[in-house]
Amino acid sequence: MATPWDQAYKHIIPLDFNSVNSVPDSFVWSQSDVIQPDNGLFIPIIDLMDSNAPKLIVEACETWGVFQLKNHGVRTKIMEDIESEARKLFDLPIDQKLKAVRSPDGLSGYGIVPIQSLFSTFMWHEGLTLFGSAIDHAKALWPHDYQQFSDTIDEYQSQMKALAEKVTGILFRALSIPVEDLNWFDDPTNRSGCNLALQLNSYPPCPEPTRTLGLAPHTDTSIVTILQAKTSGLQVFKDGVGWIPVEPEPEAIIVNLGDFTHLLSNGRFISVLHRVVVKPIQRYSMGYFYRPPKDFVVSPLLSKDLGPGEVPRYRSIIAKEYHELKANCKHYEKAFSLIEN
Ligand code: OGA
Ligand code: NI
């Protein structure tokens, strides 16, 4: 029977998560999607202050596509502030949150996770997607008290951008991609229109955590994604092993590679497949998606290391075109195969 909830909000947030004590059918994923044995493996933890860090990061990207980073230089205060702003947002009553709702053709705003459109089963998740400033959404949410949210988002994004550039710089150097030639790289004004996004994620407490997923398996459409989460839930897939839980180290930040790095490295670096499982307790995470500008041509040929013996596995593709291709692919590996030479 249709409830008022279905009629009003289903396209935005498919469920009033607080009102149910079981997982509705439309959220039930098959058991094989959800449950996995514990294999006792851990992803690498790297100290950015270690003189070996660049080498360790490159190795982690070749074998895992994901690692945790300690001594990353992002201040603890801003990491705490962003989490408390996320909590403040997701704690609002639904009617209030809908004031920042994503418009049907828009990209930024509150609602269902953007990758939901690729799956027919719902995920136990709500989120806020931001591109640049959050001031308009903040004003809609808190007309008299928007500054703190907006300032925290600005500060967090600028710290994430600096960190993402550090990591990207290490990877591009390893690939002999001359960062000096990239007009968007390290541009403080961001004039080149980098297509950077911040995603605040909330995974509400789930009464039957083994029946559903917080995020379905996917790879990120980014160069690198920097993720902050205090609690477990994220799992990464390793070929030949299976799903491995990521246990966040206190104060560390999780870095995972996205599809663009896989393409730029001619397949050397892994765009890691990952998913989120839910718990009986609330979980928040903040994902910063570092991407090139939409008109950037992503090509393995940018790498000066691609020698005479090595052929480009992928054709060149404009970042915007790749985004569109991926948005229409039902399977994460499909996008790569479509542009394989
Ligand atoms: C994402 C993502 C992981 C998490 O937002 O793309 O994979 O732990 N998030 O929330
Ligand atoms: Ni992701």
Written in H, E and C, the secondary structure of the chain is CCCHHHHHHCCCCCCCHHHCCCCCHHHCCCHHHHCCCCCCCCCCEEECCCCCHHHHHHHHHHHCCEEEEECCCCCHHHHHHHHHHHHHHHCCCHHHHHHHECCCCCCCEEECCHHHHHCCCCCCCEEEEECCCCHHHHHHHCCCCCHHHHHHHHHHHHHHHHHHHHHHHHHHHHCCCCHHHCCCCCCCCCCCCECCEEEEEEECCCCCHHHCCCEEEECCCCCEEEEECCCCCEEEEECCCEEEECCCCCCCEEEEECHHHHHHCCCCCCCCCEEECCCCCCEEEEEEEECCECCCEECHHHCCCCCCCCCCCECCEEHHHHHHHHHCCCCCCHHHHHCEC
Question: Residue 216 C-alpha to ligand 2 middle, in angstroms?
Answer: 9
Dist. CA 195–CA 193, nearest whole Å: 6
Question: Residue 308 C-alpha to ligand 2 middle, in angstroms?
Answer: 35
Ligand 1 atom nearest 201 alpha carbon: 10
Asked if residue 57 lies in contact with residue 67, where contact means CB atoms within 8 angstroms, the answer is yes
Structural domains of the chain ordered from first start: 35-338 (2.60.120.330)
How many C-beta neighbours within 10 Å does residue 280 have? 9
Among 227, 246, 273, 291, the mutation site with the greatest number of ligand 1 atoms within 8 A of its Cβ is 227
| Smallest-distance ligand from the CA of 332 | 2
**Cα–Cα nearest to 323, from 107, 66, 100, 161:** 107
What is the tens place of the pLDDT at every residue in 90-116?
Answer: 999 988 999 999 877 778 999 988 888
213 lines ligand 1 (CB under 6 A): no
| Smallest-distance ligand from the CA of 286 | 1
Which residues have C-beta within 8 Å of that of residue 192, sequence separation ≥ 6?
183, 184, 293
228 lines ligand 1 (CB under 6 A): no
201 lines ligand 1 (CB under 6 A): yes
Question: Residue 180 C-alpha to ligand 2 middle, in angstroms?
Answer: 29
| Smallest-distance ligand from the CA of 197 | 1
Question: Residue 318 C-alpha to ligand 1 middle, in angstroms?
Answer: 25
Asked if residue 212 lies in contact with residue 314, where contact means CB atoms within 8 angstroms, the answer is no
Asked if residue 141 lies in contact with residue 92, where contact means CB atoms within 8 angstroms, the answer is yes
- List, run by run, the mean pLDDT of 10-residue segments along the chain (341 residues): 53 80 94 78 96 98 98 97 98 92 84 86 95 94 96 96 95 90 72 79 96 95 97 94 94 97 96 96 97 91 75 93 87 85 90
Which residues have C-beta within 8 Å of that of residue 126, sequence separation ≥ 6?
13, 17, 90, 97, 110, 111, 112, 201, 202, 204
215 lines ligand 1 (CB under 6 A): yes
Dist. CA 306–CA 303, nearest whole Å: 6
pLDDT given for residue 1 in this prediction: 43
Asked if residue 199 lies in contact with residue 258, where contact means CB atoms within 8 angstroms, the answer is no
Between β-strands 297-298 and 109-111, what pairing exists: parallel, antiparallel or unpaired?
unpaired
What is the tens place of the pLDDT at every residue in 240-280?
Answer: 889 999 999 999 999 999 999 999 999 999 999 999 999 99
127 lines ligand 1 (CB under 6 A): no
Q: b/e map of 142-155 (b: 16 or more CB within 10 Å)? A: beeebeebbebbee
Among 219, 254, 276, the mutation site with the greatest number of ligand 1 atoms within 8 A of its Cβ is 276
Closest residue by Cα to atom 1, ligand 1, is 287
Question: Residue 199 C-alpha to ligand 2 middle, in angstroms?
Answer: 10
Asked if residue 122 lies in contact with residue 23, where contact means CB atoms within 8 angstroms, the answer is no
Question: Residue 218 C-alpha to ligand 2 middle, in angstroms?
Answer: 6
pLDDT given for residue 169 in this prediction: 95
Classify burial at 29, counting beta carbons within 10 Å of its beta carbon; exposed 0-12, middle 13-18, buried 19 or more.
buried
113 lines ligand 1 (CB under 6 A): no
Full-prediction pTM beyond 0.85? Answer: yes
Dist. CA 127–CA 87, nearest whole Å: 11
Q: Is 191 a catalytic residue?
A: no
Ligand 1 atom nearest 285 alpha carbon: 10
285 lines ligand 1 (CB under 6 A): yes
202 lines ligand 1 (CB under 6 A): no
